[in-house]
Amino acid sequence: MLRLLATEQQAGRLQLHPVLVLSTAEGLPPAERDRLERVFGAAVREVYGCTESGYAAYGCAQGWLHLLEDWVIVEPVDAGHNPVPPGTVSHTVLMTNLANRVQPIIRYDVGDRVLVRPDPCPCGDPAPAIRVQGRASDVLTFPAAGGRGVVTVPPLALATVVDRTPGVELFQIVQTAPTSLSVRLRPDPGADPDRIGAAVEEGIAALLANLGLAHVTVDPAPDPPEQTTGGKYRTVIPLPPAPPSS
């Protein structure tokens, strides 16, 4: 959404004058951060967190995220859940919420890849500094029309379409092929599943068409949304990467 607003601002169709631009749902590559700062004429910062922990880190002027150590414990680990040293990108991260006394969250496997800065951050903040490569795993990639390059779609864009559809209790969008999506839905009790399914599929198809992806099919799935082994529902599931050729 920030990138879309920046493009509109750059084209002169918006006249926004923010004091601060804050990204809360997706990471910003350095080049995109620079573009946002230039277009909006404001400082650009990020926050990092998840539903289970709330905000876990806040951004600084150097582009790093500093941990809120009195709120959460963040443990970067390898695939076997063993700690990885600073300077090494983790396989995942375990999150412990220190503030939730109603439903304690202890060493929850978030699934994000995290790098802890091995030296003090130049911004002067003494809190541990991290960079997060997570959430990028949920970005969908499609071949562009005519086979000329690829088009990436952030999960938030798709989720927003479904969230705005009345009658949806839970959903899951699964990429089943390079140009195919399958939508798993759990309607609200008493809602018409056929009507809701048609509305969701139409909304997603319209979004994709606006992105030049009218050739991508959107089909209903017979099964409801599925949980991961950790008990979490991923709302957007990209096509798994192809195994390396031998």
The tens digit of pLDDT for each residue in 108-162 reads 888 788 899 999 999 999 999 998 876 555 678 899 988 778 888 878 788 888 9
Tokens encoding 141: 């990639």
List the CATH code of the domain at 139-237.
3.30.300.30
Residue 51 pLDDT grade (very low, low, confident, very high; cuts 50, 70, 90): confident
Q: Are 154 and 142 in contact (CB under 8 A)?
A: no
1: amino acid identity, one letter: M
Confidence of residue 182 (pLDDT cuts 50, 70, 90): very high
pLDDT, tens digit (0-9, with 9 covering 90-100), for 72-84: 999 999 888 999 9
Q: Which residue has the higher pLDDT, 217 or 12?
A: 217
CATH superfamily of 2-135: ANL, N-terminal domain (3.40.50.12780)
Residue 111 CB: number of other CB atoms within 10 A? 17
Query: 37 and 9 in contact (C-beta within 8 Å)?
Result: no
Q: Where are the domains of the chain?
A: 2-135, 139-237
Scanning the structure block, which residue is given the tokens 């709302």? 235
pTM of the model: 0.58
Tokens linked to 166: 């009345």
